[in-house]
A = this chain, B = another copy of it.
């Protein structure tokens, strides 16, 4: 009778983030995941991919075995 959860230290979008407005995004992930709030985290498209930017999560929701995070992109990696 425990609750499985996953401790995450970066935001892996797999291209499924939705822009809310400007630099604000939301992203739904399967299962319950624990992310640090209000702390700069690397944003990647895939686990082994390159860093696309740095973001901070300002809202997190758990329900229906899903995690919904809301984050603000604070900086973008230049890629050229």
Contacts and interface: CB of A to CB of B under 8 A. Distances in A.
B9 A9 contact: yes
* Chain A, interface residues (CB within 8 Å), range: 20 to 34
Report the copy number of this chain in the oligomer.
4
A56 B66 CA distance: 16
Given A3-B36, A36-B2, A9 B41 contact: yes
A9 B39 contact: yes
A12 interface: yes
Given A9-B41, A59-B61, A61-B60, A33 B2 contact: yes
Nearest to A63: B59
A80 to B, nearest CB: 24
A51 interface: no
